[in-house]
Amino acid sequence: MGLTAKIRTRDGWAVSHAVVTVTDMTGTQVLRAEADAEGAVKDTTELAPGAYTVIVTAVGYAPAASSAIVTASGRAEIGAVTLARQGGTELPPPGPWTIDPAHSSVAAVAQHLGISSVHGRFTDFGGTIEIAPDDVAKSRVEAVIKAGSIDTGNGMRDTHLRSGDFLDVENHPEITYRSTGLTQAGPDRWTVHGELSLHGVVRQVDLDLAYLGTGADPWGGTRAAFRATAELHREDFAMNYNQVLQAGIAAIGTTLKVQLDIQAVQGDSLPAA
């Protein structure tokens, strides 16, 4: 006897501590139960046979209402109830997430000689993501990149990029990004507002963020995937070096196109290797 239900997000993850309220046909509340950490509701309150309304609520999600029929056994099996993010927006389940550098990339592209592109990436970085439970817009991102880990596939060029002409890694060994806000740009798209510290200069930089989904990994964890892009101008970060060729063309473009492909693992630390 009693009521059972499973509360899930659209992609199948548990909504812990959702509240299930049951009212009879007169609108009188006859049962109130809270889901456990697995999103399961199991209440043994005996209900009289008849029709009832079931309302499921959870902080950060739009309420869901459905009808239920209690049989002569006094049992109501609601089954799976799907909750959508408030406002129809989607992000991973709330809580801490840790960026997995082994399955992520931080890349940048600059124009070279006015006709082609130089591709570079940073190989040493890490960070955290905190998905806020009550208001997704209050979620936070922090990341640290080791400037000396720049890799463009050419040792001489990388040495120059680490020098005082560009990254000056001896005096500014870390590049940091800390978000200051989050604005919805679509059902699965966000603008991350934040402060980028690069070459000893701090500037406001927005990231165009796409949430690609969440799923289980082979190691027993849960992963979320994101892709973010931004456009930076070297002069904004006091990196003014350039070599102008005879035709008046800059050897290296002043605009950098940045692309981040991020996998994050649920929890406040990465699993042991």
Flag whether pLDDT at 128 surpasses 90.
yes
Is residue 159 one of the residues assigned to a domain?
Answer: yes
Considering the domain architecture, whether residues 80 and 201 belong to the same structural domain is answered as no
Q: What is the pLDDT of residue 250?
A: 45
pLDDT tens track for 98-126: 999 999 999 999 875 445 578 899 999 99
**What are the residues whose beta carbons fall under 8 Å from the beta carbon of 253, sequence distance 6 or more?**
110, 111, 112, 114
Please indicate, yes or no, whether residues 254 and 207 belong to a single structural domain of this protein: yes
Summarize pLDDT for 38-61 with one digit per residue, the tens. 899 998 888 889 999 999 998 778
- In-domain check, residue 161: yes
Q: What is the pLDDT of residues 214-267, one digit of tens each?
A: 878 888 888 999 999 999 998 899 887 775 444 444 456 678 899 999 999 999
For 267, left (φ over 0), alpha (ψ -120 to 50), or beta? left
Distance, first Cα to last Cα, the chain:
46
**What was the pLDDT predicted at 116?**
55
Compute the C-alpha angle 197/107/191, nearest 5°: 60
Highest mean predicted confidence (pLDDT) among 6-10, 22-26, 168-172: 168-172
- Look at residue 3 in the predicted model and tell me its pLDDT: 84
Token pair belonging to 55: 């309302």
CATH number of the domain to which 200 belongs: 2.40.128.110
Tell me if 133 sits within 8 A of 123, measured CB to CB.
no
Please, are residues 94 and 60 in contact by the beta-carbon 8 Å criterion? yes
Quote the CA–CA distance of 266 and 99 in Å, as a whole number. 9
Looking at 69, 87, 105, the residue that finishes a domain is: 87
pTM above the 0.85 mark? Answer: no
Per-residue pLDDT, 248: 43
> Is 81 a member of any domain?
yes
Phi, psi torsion values for 158, nearest 5 degrees: -65, -40
Are 37 and 123 in a shared domain?
Answer: no
Reduced to 3 states (helix: H, G, I; strand: E, B; else coil), residue 102 is helix
Report how many domains make up the chain.
2
Are 252 and 126 contained in the same domain? Answer: yes
Q: How far apart are CA 198 and CA 234, in angstroms?
A: 10
What's the CATH code of the domain at 10? 2.60.40.10
From 87, 105, 124, give the residue that closes a domain: 87
**With pLDDT > 70 as the criterion, what percentage of the chain qualifies?**
89
Residues 54 and 101 in one domain: no
Q: Which of 87, 120, 144 lies at the terminal end of a domain, its last residue? A: 87
In a domain? residue 271 = no
130 and 249 assigned to the same domain:
yes
What is the rounded CA–CA span in Å between residue 44 and residue 63?
A: 23
Is residue 216, in this structure, part of any structural domain at all? Answer: yes
* Residues contacting residue 18 through CB under 8 Å, at least 6 positions apart: 7, 34, 35, 39, 41, 56, 57, 58, 61, 83
Per the structure, the complete domain to which residue 40 belongs is given by 2-87
Same domain, 83 and 120: no
* Judgement on whether residues 108 and 170 belong to the same structural domain of the protein: yes
Q: Are residues 77 and 127 in the same domain?
A: no
Cα–Cα nearest to 13, from 226, 182, 266 = 266
* pLDDT-derived band at 157, boundaries 50, 70, 90: confident
| 115 shares a domain with 21 | no
Say if residue 79 is in the same domain as residue 102: no
Per-residue confidence band for 91, with pLDDT thresholds at 50, 70 and 90: confident
Answer whether residue 113 is part of any domain: yes
Average pLDDT, the chain: 86
Residues 232 and 100 in one domain: yes
**272, part of any domain:** no
Tell me, what's the pLDDT at 163? 92
